[in-house]
Structure 1
Amino acid sequence: MTKEYVTSERRLLHGGDYNPEQWKDYPEVLEQDIELMKKSGVNTVSVGMFSWTSMEPEEEVYDFEWLDQVFDRMNSIGGKVILATPSGARPAWMAKKYPEVLRVDSLRRKQLYGARHNHCYTSPYYRSKTQEINRKLAERYQNHPALLLWHISNEYGGECHCNLCQEAFRGWLKARYDNSLEKINQAWWGPFWSHTITDWNQIESPSPIGENLVHGMNLDWRRFVTDQTIDFYKNEIVPLREITPDIPITTNFMSDNPEFIPFRGLDYSKFAKEVDIISWDAYPAWHNDYEETYELASKVAFINDSFKSMKQKPWLLMESTPSLVNWHQYNKPKRPNMHYLSSMQMLAHGSDSNLYFQWRKSRGASEKFHGAVVDHDGSAENRVFKEVSQVGATMEKLSDKVVGTKRKAEVGLLYDWESDWALEDAQGFGLQTKDYPQTLQKHYQAFWEKDIPVDVISKENHFNEYKLLVVPMLYLMSEKTITRLKDFVAAGGTLVSGYMTGLVNESDLAYLGGWKKDLQDIFGIEPIETDTFYPSDSNKISYKEKMYTVKDYATIITNKNADVIGNYLEDFYSETPAVTYNKYHKGQAYYIGARLEEAFNQVFYQDLIDELNLSPILKVDHEVGVSVQGRKVDEDTDIVFIMNFTEKKQTVKIEHEVLDVLTNEMINGKFALEPYEVKVIEK
């Protein structure tokens, strides 16, 4: 296997966001930073994210000397620089002189200067200025040996409703609908509540004042926001591609917190096509009081695997905290060893870096108590600094073996942003219990607990790469997607789906005539109606002579030619199909008609794991809460991370002798893992 390096640096990247512009009046601090970086094993820093005023304190007056020093200092210790473009926070002089750069919110209120990320993506002036500053950065640092990677802006997100964006939205719609108001009215179901559009100027972005009840328009607006954000990004990188064509480009993606589900603001499956490297910022709320640590670890793994799957190659952890954040409801520090464990989890799932926000705590403003490698005491002796140094030392040992490697999954789990947006809009079912991404996480967890690798994919991935495709709750399903699923099963694939699937088309219009015939052919059934439960409601199903509890939703099914392998036990649909199996050409399809307790997922997917001969990277006997993940070095060698995400000592068993990579000792048989402990082994 050929390693696939995401950057020219053939080592794991350790370091993170560095803000030397905040310390220009403290030269002793800047000198200390370099010494502390060497002690902690830092080899890479990210600079420039919010530095526009430091780069251009007045219009067309530039100062890059402080940035020159960062590049030269990092180069002197063999380090690298990830250089960010500064568009994430515009200068005060710009906001004052050119107010068009500031966003207008959905209530049509012009935002004031003072926050970051409130710039208009459509503003011609802002687009021109971002290109101008980016060009100067590229020209200045194009040949510097420390330049490793371009980091474009920071955590793109949000939307603008100004007149410029309204006009851009109308232009986007004209392109999408062939300049036809008739097609728009068909897609948006215009006659509903007299929402027929008769002139382009009548179209405006959704506003909470209008209750956002034209669902087709809402869906198109979200698509437009994604496309306009990507277009702004593509405008930013023009001079970088021109001047530094060999320097790869990324921008840092996110998750939605505190639930730790996919970020819903932008369709990352589209954005991923435009970057050279996937990178993201991970801030899970470890040690919270509403879930077990291993359950949160499974959610982190789910997001990791979604980003890994976007390009099927290693990715970068661009931001994480070595201790705590300052923006959760409760900002709890990581317990001893959790930082090491969480860092190793990132490597195990395909990251070629462990980078932090932030290197040194800000002295003032909103991030003065956000976690950092270097605290206000500037000490190398506190717990956090020592744990970061431990991570750095381990990454140095693992670099030659791990960097550039990836792993293969035989299971694909499909998440779709457009379906998520549409289902959240749907005024039916339970308004607070739809939980599409959370449901996917539970399906994922059933495999994660059994150490089976999973790719979290989009509807545009190649389905035929997988033995098993799990597609829960795909509410919005175009005929193209239906055809692709049908072809996957017909060619021999195994498909799992269920309730709330395939109800509307790509315009969020309900399919007429019942469930699409192709779906009926695949599954051998027809869903007739959905029973939505109050929290006090319940039902049960029988599956393989055991009973499992139904919660939230139950689909009432008419069987056509499927095998019924689970029945409802209560209510007016008692003894009707709840879980079905259908053979279709060379493949097979399962339909799970209800939202069921996790115990069902465990049994159901274990049956499929056995039937399809799905194997973990290493067979390890362990209890729930221990995760075994790995990366394939070559055809004969794997690096495996055995991680204890529980607060108790766990005993694990390995049948074959393996090498502990970090101690260089051989392991065979049973051994203990302390709470939050990790073993890294080679097999």
Structure 2
Amino acid sequence: MISTKIPKMIYGGDYNPEQYDRETMNEDIRMFKSAKIDFVRVNIFAWAISQKDEVSYDFQWLDEVIDTLYENEIKVGIGTGTAAHPAWLAKKYPDVLRTEFDGKKRKFGGRHNSCPNSLTYQKYASLFVKKLVERYQKHPAVLLWNISNEWGGACYCENCEKAFRVWLKEKYRTLDHVNKAWNTTFWGHTFYDWDEIVTPNLLSEHFGERHTMFQGISLDYARFNSDSMLECHKMEYDIIKKSLPDTIVTTNIMGAYKPLDYQKWAPYMDVIAWDNYPSIETPTSYTAMMHDLMRGLKNGEPFMLMEQTPSQQNWQPYNALKRPGVMRLWSYQAVAHGSDTVLFFQMRRSSGACEKFHGAVIDHVGHENTRVFKEVAELGEELDQLSDTLLNSRVQSKVAIVFDWDNWWAVEYSSGPSISLKYVDEVHKYYKALFDQNIQVDMIGVQEDLSQYEVVIAPVLYMVKPGYAKKIEDFVEKGGIFLTTFLSGIVDENDLVTLGGYPGELRHVLGIWSEEIDALAPEHTNKIVMEKEYGLLKDVYSCSLLFDLIHSEGAEVIATYGKDFYQGRPVVTKNKFGKGQAWYVASSPDDAFLQGLINEIIKEKGIRNDFSGNEPGVEITKRIKGDKTYVFVLNHNSDTVHIELSSVTGLNLLTGEEVFQSIELASYDVAIIEQSK
């Protein structure tokens, strides 16, 4: 972990000195040191600068950069540079270029424009990485290696089509198995030769990016595309690790980024590093969920906040400035959820091209007399004072939410039942209900052990992979509470419906049968009518989107629909199973209902947040390190707030003041309280 390599939380970010002269770089370093910046990433997009043709390599400029940084006690994350191939490579070897979803072959330009299955790209990328490793493997400035940059996109070229067939042969072995998995008897799609299989895009099975005639082939191509880029990542990872087995190798990823199954990528990242770019309107709870999702990729290990903007972004429709204090607040939010770094993109604003208006530590004016730089320097001073205090501390949770990329792809490739169903949005609804009550959450994949949790929530668990229903049954039987929702248990890992009645393999543990699924536009709502009081739940609530028409097969009916032809039919059920309970919520409920339901479930399991109340806009979470507990209190409000902390006493590490069961925080302010024993 990072904490084994350096004595404090590293601070800095992306630096591109190849865009400036050496005099500017020297002035930048002076300012970096004044802001306590001690780490930068370099060489992220510099392949073309160091290699002008097939055989010529010139790293003199990079030698000077890394040496100068080291002389000034600034550590380096060295990028492999392969996120953007050189123009000469595309000109001489056009097979390296991607083909788009509509079938158009790209020319040189942009970034991530390399076909991951181009043998030419793989050859020259690996040669370049080998040269970098040979040159810098012993340089004392290099703290970590950063492969590529924000892997992404998809390719539909002939390279990929051929590679897809090979991938399918490895997965299914025979065409008979492919035909069965994809249900190819539908619409006469039976395949008799591997070469008959083509890429699923607008030229074949798709009528839009989300709409496909054959979910099976599109789902497998999504898996293949993620795996293809992962193989390129692994190629570079193995080159670096062969020479430097003890170094840190990672890549910067992007939260809930749909094209890549990060749960499969995580074993090939020594530390999870991710780029956090919420807008001014992004719910605080959503950003928190992304941090938790990233932390969950490696079983709760601390992660790296690899990128965030010091102020505004450049690629959103409206690129608002971060208000004074917000950069600090959002930096500490990442730390509160498990980050052991605070890093930015970018260190100095570019003078041209598409990121010239993206925020930076050093603005176009070129000096430190700006609001943003002063805020960066103040945060740097605080992090320097914290030193290694928080490093490698952990977030501990008794509640988990299941998030699965295969399930996400399958839900949104499905032809029906609703175009308005968004998997991540439904997951966030349940996360927010916990977040608003300051209950810490682990975001986990289906491969994770459930025994460490008291409550497991799996919204829209449409796809049930082999063995997962049994894992859920064992969890509930031993006393856990499991909750899932409408459109769950419908299909297997190939997106084939599990016959015999919904919710398929979950029917036994849930004690229900879902006969039909009504889908209405989001503005059409129904009512959730409580059959009897359940804790604070006693009113009539609203629900929308999808409406499962379910029958109880032993489950207790907690609430029923209030109108339409299914008025009086169950909408919320609880099934006792062994020592535990399995809940089913048959529609998408309003926030008030979810808050009440979640509150009662966690209370039943003895889970509490240790704090007096839930002040709107105030986030409270904890990290634990040995016998030390650190309570983070974050005021996301633009006004001063008084917060009751009934069981918290200790020292606010950011101010040096003692805290006794309450605290007052100014707008966008933060406290980190080291609790007294």
Q: Which category describes the TM-score, using the shorter chain as reference length?
A: over 0.9
Structure 1 counterpart of 2:629, from 615, 638, 653: 638
Contact 2:547 2:587 in 1 (8 A): yes
1:552 deviates by 1.1
- The answer as to 2:135 corresponding to 1:130 is no
Greater mean deviation of Cα atoms: 568-577 or 316-325: 568-577
User: Cα 1:209–1:108, aligned 2, differ >3 Å: closer, same or farther?
Assistant: closer
1:586 deviates by 2.0
| Residue in 2 that maps onto 1:572 | 565
> Aligned partner of 1:426: which letter?
S
Structure 2 counterpart of 1:19, from 16, 23, 45: 16
1:517 deviates by 6.1
1:516 deviates by 5.6
1:654 deviates by 2.2
> Aligned partner of 1:568: which letter?
Y
Partner secondary structure for residue 451 of structure 2: helix
Contact 1:622 1:650 in 2 (8 A): no
Equivalents in 1 of 2:587, 2:159: separation in Å?
A: 46
- The answer as to 2:495 corresponding to 1:495 is no
Structure 2 counterpart of 1:563, from 551, 556, 560: 556
> Aligned partner of 1:420: which letter?
W
Contact 2:103 2:203 in 1 (8 A): no
Partner secondary structure for residue 140 of structure 2: coil
Report the TM-score when normalising by structure 2. 0.95
Partner secondary structure for residue 317 of structure 2: coil
Structure 1 counterpart of 2:462, from 475, 481, 486: 475
Partner secondary structure for residue 365 of structure 1: coil
Equivalents in 2 of 1:620, 1:48: separation in Å?
A: 49
1:513 deviates by 1.4
1:390 deviates by 1.5
- The answer as to 2:654 corresponding to 1:662 is yes
Contact 1:622 1:651 in 2 (8 A): no
| Residue in 2 that maps onto 1:679 | 671
| Alignment: residue pair count | 661
Equivalents in 2 of 1:198, 1:119: separation in Å?
A: 32
| Residue in 1 that maps onto 2:236 | 236
Equivalents in 1 of 2:38, 2:418: separation in Å?
A: 50
1:484 deviates by 1.3
| Residue in 2 that maps onto 1:585 | 578
Structure 1 counterpart of 2:589, from 589, 596, 612: 596
Partner secondary structure for residue 242 of structure 1: helix
Partner secondary structure for residue 366 of structure 1: coil
Structure 2 counterpart of 1:263, from 257, 262, 265: 257
After superposition, give the CA deviation of every residue in 1:483-508 in whole Å (9 maximum; x if it has no partner): 21112112221101120001111111
Structure 2 counterpart of 1:530, from 486, 505, 517: 517
Equivalents in 2 of 1:681, 1:7: separation in Å?
A: 24
Greater mean deviation of Cα atoms: 646-655 or 120-129: 646-655
Greater mean deviation of Cα atoms: 463-472 or 529-538: 529-538
| Residue in 2 that maps onto 1:374 | 362
User: Cα 1:670–1:517, aligned 2, differ >3 Å: closer, same or farther?
Assistant: closer
Contact 1:523 1:581 in 2 (8 A): yes
Greater mean deviation of Cα atoms: 416-425 or 661-670: 661-670
Equivalents in 2 of 1:441, 1:381: separation in Å?
A: 40
After superposition, give the CA deviation of every residue in 1:450-498 in whole Å (9 maximum; x if it has no partner): 1111001111111112111001101111242112111211222110112
- The answer as to 2:461 corresponding to 1:464 is no
| Residue in 2 that maps onto 1:392 | 380
> Aligned partner of 2:134: which letter?
E
1:6 deviates by 5.5
| Residue in 2 that maps onto 1:647 | 638
Greater mean deviation of Cα atoms: 534-543 or 36-45: 534-543
| Residue in 2 that maps onto 1:281 | 275
1:418 deviates by 0.8
- The answer as to 2:76 corresponding to 1:85 is no
Contact 2:511 2:575 in 1 (8 A): yes
Contact 2:491 2:504 in 1 (8 A): no
| Residue in 1 that maps onto 2:618 | 626
Equivalents in 1 of 2:370, 2:120: separation in Å?
A: 47
Structure 1 counterpart of 2:409, from 415, 421, 426: 421
After superposition, give the CA deviation of every residue in 1:206-233 in whole Å (9 maximum; x if it has no partner): 1113323111000000011111111111
Equivalents in 1 of 2:3, 2:504: separation in Å?
A: 44
1:307 deviates by 0.9
Equivalents in 1 of 2:333, 2:567: separation in Å?
A: 44
1:620 deviates by 4.7
Partner secondary structure for residue 434 of structure 1: coil
- The answer as to 2:45 corresponding to 1:29 is no
> Aligned partner of 1:441: which letter?
H
Contact 1:127 1:236 in 2 (8 A): no
Partner secondary structure for residue 208 of structure 1: coil
After superposition, give the CA deviation of every residue in 1:129-165 in whole Å (9 maximum; x if it has no partner): 1111111111111111111111000111111112111
User: Cα 1:508–1:443, aligned 2, differ >3 Å: closer, same or farther?
Assistant: same
1:79 deviates by 1.9
| Residue in 1 that maps onto 2:209 | none
| Residue in 2 that maps onto 1:253 | 253
Partner secondary structure for residue 203 of structure 2: helix
Contact 1:631 1:638 in 2 (8 A): yes
User: Cα 1:122–1:411, aligned 2, differ >3 Å: closer, same or farther?
Assistant: same
Contact 2:489 2:504 in 1 (8 A): no
Equivalents in 2 of 1:67, 1:658: separation in Å?
A: 47
Equivalents in 2 of 1:586, 1:276: separation in Å?
A: 39
1:646 deviates by 1.7
Contact 1:532 1:554 in 2 (8 A): yes
- Map of 1:325-474 to 2, 5 A cutoff? 325-431=313-419, 433-474=420-461
| Residue in 2 that maps onto 1:259 | none
Partner secondary structure for residue 387 of structure 2: helix
Equivalents in 2 of 1:536, 1:595: separation in Å?
A: 12
Equivalents in 2 of 1:120, 1:558: separation in Å?
A: 50
1:590 deviates by 0.9
1:657 deviates by 2.8
Partner secondary structure for residue 575 of structure 1: coil
1:74 deviates by 2.1
Equivalents in 1 of 2:470, 2:328: separation in Å?
A: 45
Greater mean deviation of Cα atoms: 63-72 or 417-426: 63-72
Partner secondary structure for residue 541 of structure 1: strand
1:53 deviates by 1.4
Equivalents in 1 of 2:3, 2:86: separation in Å?
A: 32
Greater mean deviation of Cα atoms: 523-532 or 370-379: 523-532
User: Cα 1:238–1:412, aligned 2, differ >3 Å: closer, same or farther?
Assistant: same
Partner secondary structure for residue 38 of structure 1: helix
Equivalents in 1 of 2:4, 2:307: separation in Å?
A: 17
1:607 deviates by 0.5
Equivalents in 1 of 2:56, 2:522: separation in Å?
A: 62
Equivalents in 1 of 2:54, 2:97: separation in Å?
A: 17
> Aligned partner of 1:89: which letter?
A
- The answer as to 2:296 corresponding to 1:304 is no
After superposition, give the CA deviation of every residue in 1:186-208 in whole Å (9 maximum; x if it has no partner): 11111211111121111111111
Contact 2:167 2:224 in 1 (8 A): yes
Contact 2:237 2:268 in 1 (8 A): no
> Aligned partner of 1:69: which letter?
E
Unaligned runs of 5+ in 2: 207-211
> Aligned partner of 1:280: which letter?
W
| Residue in 2 that maps onto 1:258 | none
CA RMSD of aligned residues (A): 1.4
Among all aligned residue pairs of Structure 1 and Structure 2, give the percentage whose two residues are the same amino acid. Answer: 38
